[in-house]
Structure 1
Amino acid sequence: MSPLNDLLMPKLGLTMTEGMLIEWCVAAGDQVKAGDPLFVVETDKVANEIAAEADGLIGEILVPAGETVPVGAVVAHWTGPGQQAVQEPGGSAPAESPAASVPAVPPAPATGGRIVATPLARRLAREMDLDLAGVVGTGPGGRIKAADVRHAKAPAPEAPLQERGQRVAASGLVQSMARRMTQAKQVPHFYLAAEAEIGELLDLRRRLNDQPGAPRLTLNHFVIAAVARALAALPQQNRIWSDGQIVQFDEVDVGVAVSTERGLMAPVLHGLAAATLDGIARQSDGLLERVRSGNATHADMNGGAISISNAGMFNVTYMTPIINPPQSAILGVGSVRDVFRPDAQGAPALKREMGLVLAADHRLHDGAGALKFLNYVIDLLQDPYRLLRTQTQG
């Protein structure tokens, strides 16, 4: 059948190599029109509905729902208007010939009450305290060999232990997450840890949230803004490694780890190069709503060179995160802690500090560049009024 009559697993992202076909929306023999949904593919924790590009008739479905296949694999056949369905060549399978019966090997023949066995077999039988009368010989004329004795004496295999628990088939989302985490550990990580003193930021946040009519700002919105500003100022950090090549991004996009009922997901905020704090808050709120309601788009779940994973609400001092491929970095955010530090005169002063851990891909980033990036983020968090300016002023 012509490739024009093949439905293929589409490539839905820059680094997509396979997808799970989780649902068929049509059956063999169905007439479809352009735009009708054909099947649903799950990749990167997002379900993508694949629509018909033209009118046609669905032929044979080759890939059942629930299977994972590589990009470009044929999942079904179809015929367009005016085309004749082509029967795949091939006849009925030849009938299987009946398996020849294999006669059981009789026990070793006894000649006048004498068992035929090799000398080594007899010696092994004596050492093992084994009666040769019950041993099946496989040598010529049923002669017992040493291997027959060893086989007869070998202990029966123990019955497998009963598993205490239940086996449950992993969902497509769980399988996708498992693949990505395995892939993530192939990335050569290195880590940098530091603290940011955010007392002034917390005070600014409180004052901004007291203003009526404005979106409510969270600590994470400030971190997102600082990371976005750092990416815009240091574009060499805004790139990823893909298939042996470096991809330099023009746009500033930042991923955010989100806990949902379906598991941990990492949607992406797009176009943050000149975004304000209020703009980040509004875009973030809309994105999280789509993700948690299961309505995230493919674009929502792709893009960006870095994500932020904030575990501060769980009383975690430091978080050492894993890079989310194909991104090249991730920033782990810990809890805000009250600590005493010496002031300029050496007297103890109460500070409010937040632990930060940057994980970076050593194929793209070296220690000096990553340190510069992390310190840029920290400087913005410690001088948060800079985040109120536009990017051209900052």
Structure 2
Amino acid sequence: MAKVITLPRLSDTMQEGVVARWLVSEGDKVKRGQVIAEIETDKATMEFESFEGGIVLALVAPEGETLHVGAPIAVFGKAGEDPQEALAAFESAGGAASDAASPSAPAPDAHGPSPEAATQAEAGGPPTQAPGGEAGETPTDRRIPASPLARKRAREYGLDLRAIPGSGPKGRVIVADVEAARAKGPVAQAAAPAATAGRFVDRPDTRIPLSQMRKAIARRMAESFRDIPHFYLSATIRMDRAAALRAEINAAHGAKVVSFNDLVLLAVARALEEHPRVNRSFAGDAIVEHGNIHVGVAVALDDGLVVPVVRYANQKRLTEIAAEVRDLGERARTRKLAPEEMTGSTITVSNLGMFGIDHFSAVINPGEGAILAVGAIRDVAVPDGAGGFTAAKEMTVTLACDHRAMDGADGAKFLATLRNLLEHPAAMLA
């Protein structure tokens, strides 16, 4: 009998997902292990390898539609079999038929396709869409041949599909066309509403559908603020020697191989060695003091953020941390991180200094006991001890702590050590 393929659980926190793109069509012959779709989860967009072989009898899930884990997305079988019979049996069994067809444990390769491959896959895919169109579309929009992903991007950017020339088969608008129209500026923007009385223009609100990543951020941050009693400690650190050391290292390598954030990460890891109470998390009926030091690095994306993890950070050299952070950041921005690279951190560092933010307070990631918010390095005048002033570089950091797992003195001692390490950074290279 034909088998129902269900939406798999591709990460520990995944509760729902979206078929971002089908890579097969109805009637195709699929082998076990073949990549059949790209699935957008709460952490990344990942390739989904089929656990079954056979003929694609039906693609049940439209591209772009949010589904719960375990929901049917396709039916595989032999030529001539009726997919509706398999779906009916699946429903009557309460979903039990999906267990063999789509296990939830294995996580496939998270290395998504290149932009060129994505464009080719989209251009060659069937021009299907969810019945009745998407929220925010007009009937005219639904008559325009466009891929589901192109429609989604056009809505997000506020672009009028009718004004975008399509380069796909038979003039179909694909996501590359939408991105190109956006890059051109206001030419392809949806027509602005007519001016109301006087000099004011009434512009409508835009309802932006939540991506899986945005949903996960909303859920986890609300959980954190609801359940974790935060307290905050701030410290101002002289960064003159750190700046000089960084300049010396980069000059020796002939390139910018080390950032200030890399120095902060190393200092955080070394400070945690001396203050293991800050390397704790609350676990209901116990406090977990983590034996290893794994530092999460917050990386901003266009539609959210992810936190890849530098594992065993206290056991690595500065240049090792710098190379690893650079690699993780690049792959985070291209959505090529594996789920396991974004789990297991025991503390997180969030840096907004590059945006000119002097200081801020961050929200603790559930499962951790602290997060360090790093501000910009500022040129300031400080007393020179002789009645005058001298130029200096200063940086403010703010540590958010879970009061269930540690107390104020624990965080204060940690910050004192962190300050000393960054104000005398050569000691960390010994």
Q: Could you say whether these structures have the same fold, taking a TM-score greater than 0.5 normalized by the shorter chain as the test?
A: yes
Q: Kindly provide the CA deviation profile for residues 247-272 of structure 1, in whole angstroms up to 9, marking residues without a partner as x.
A: 65444322222233444433322332
Q: Give, in whole Å, the separation in 1 of the partners of 2:9 and 2:209.
A: 25
**What's 1:165 paired with?**
205
Q: Which has the higher strand share?
A: 1
User: For residue 177 of structure 1, what is the aligned residue in structure 2?
Assistant: 217
Q: Conserved in 1, the CA contact under 8 Å of 2:52 and 2:76?
A: no
Q: Counterpart of 1:180 in structure 2: which amino acid?
A: R
Change beyond 3 A, Cα 1:9–1:235: farther
- Name the structure 1 match of 2:411: 370
C-alpha displacement of 1:41: 3.1
Over 3 Å counting, the alpha-carbon distance change for 1:70 and 1:169 in structure 2 is closer
Give the structure 2 partner of residue 203 of structure 1.
Answer: 244
Q: How many residues align?
A: 316
CA–CA distance in structure 2, aligned partners of residues 265 and 64 of structure 1: 27
Q: Is the 8 A contact 2:25 2:56 kept in 1?
A: yes
Kindly provide the amino acid, as one letter, of the partner of residue 214 in structure 2. V
> Alpha-carbon deviations, 1:114-141, whole Å to 9, x = none?
xxxxxxxxxxxxxxxxxxxxxxxxxxxx
Residue deviations 1:66-114 (CA, integer Å, cap 9, x gap): 344455555555569xx998643599xxxxxxxxxxxxxxxxxxxxxxx
The CA RMSD over aligned residues, in Å, is 3.7
Percent identity reads 36
CA distance in 2 between counterparts of 1:323 and 1:198 reads: 25
CA distance in 2, matches of 1:244, 1:32: 48
Contact 1:22/1:172 (CA < 8 Å) preserved in 2? no
What's the counterpart of residue 34 of structure 2? 36
Compared with structure 1, are the counterparts of its residues 276 and 52 closer, same or farther at alpha carbon in structure 2 (3 Å cutoff)? same
Distance in structure 1 (CA, Å) of the matches to 2:283 and 2:61: 28
Q: In structure 1, what is the equivalent of residue 137 of structure 2?
A: none
> 283, 290, 293: which is aligned to 1:252?
293
Q: Do structure 1's residue 191 and structure 2's residue 189 form an aligned pair?
A: no
- Gaps of at least 5 residues in structure 1 are 92-161, 390-394
CA distance in 2, matches of 1:242, 1:39: 37
User: Residues of 1 paired with 2:18 and 2:404: CA distance?
Assistant: 29
Distance in 1, Cα, partners of 2:418 & 2:336: 31
Structure 1 residue 322: Cα displacement: 1.9
Q: Distance in 2 between matches of 1:210 and 1:357?
A: 30
Amino acid at match of 2:6: L
Distance 1:30 1:235 in 2: 56
Where does residue 221 of structure 1 map in the other structure? 262
Task: Identify if the C-alpha distance between structure 1 residues 357 and 290 changes in structure 2 by more than 3 Å, giving closer, same or farther.
Answer: same
Quote the Cα distance in structure 2 between the aligned partners of 1:184 and 1:228. Answer: 23
In the alignment, residue 206 of structure 2 is paired with which amino acid? Q
Q: For residues 345 and 322 of structure 1, do their structure 2 counterparts lie closer, same or farther at Cα, with a shift above 3 Å needed?
A: same
The aligned amino acid for 1:205 is: R
Structure 1 SS opposite 2:323: helix
Contact 2:19–2:64 (8 Å) recurs in 1:
yes
Matching of residues 180-329 of structure 1 within 5 Å: 180-186=220-226, 187-212=228-253, 216-241=257-282, 249-329=290-370
Report the AA paired with residue 46 of structure 1.
A
CA deviation profile, 1:126-174 (whole Å, cap 9, x unmatched): xxxxxxxxxxxxxxxxxxxxxxxxxxxxxxxxxxxx9833334343443
State the partner residue of 2:47.
49
* 8 Å CA contact retained: 2:42, 2:215: no
Letter in 2 for 1:220: N
How far apart are the structure 2 equivalents of 1:215 and 1:368?
Answer: 37
Who is 1:145 aligned against? none
1: CA distance, partners of 2:67 / 2:285: 23
Q: Which residue of 2 aligns with 1:379?
A: 420
User: SS of 2:39's equivalent?
Assistant: strand
Bigger radius of gyration among the two: 1
Deviations 1:250-308 (A, max 9, x none): 44322222233444433322332311111111111212221223323323333312221
Residue segments in structure 2 that go unaligned for 5+ positions in a row: 93-201
In structure 1, what is the equivalent of residue 176 of structure 2?
A: none
Inter-CA distance 308–350: structure 2 relative to 1 (3 Å threshold):
same
SS at match of 1:211: helix
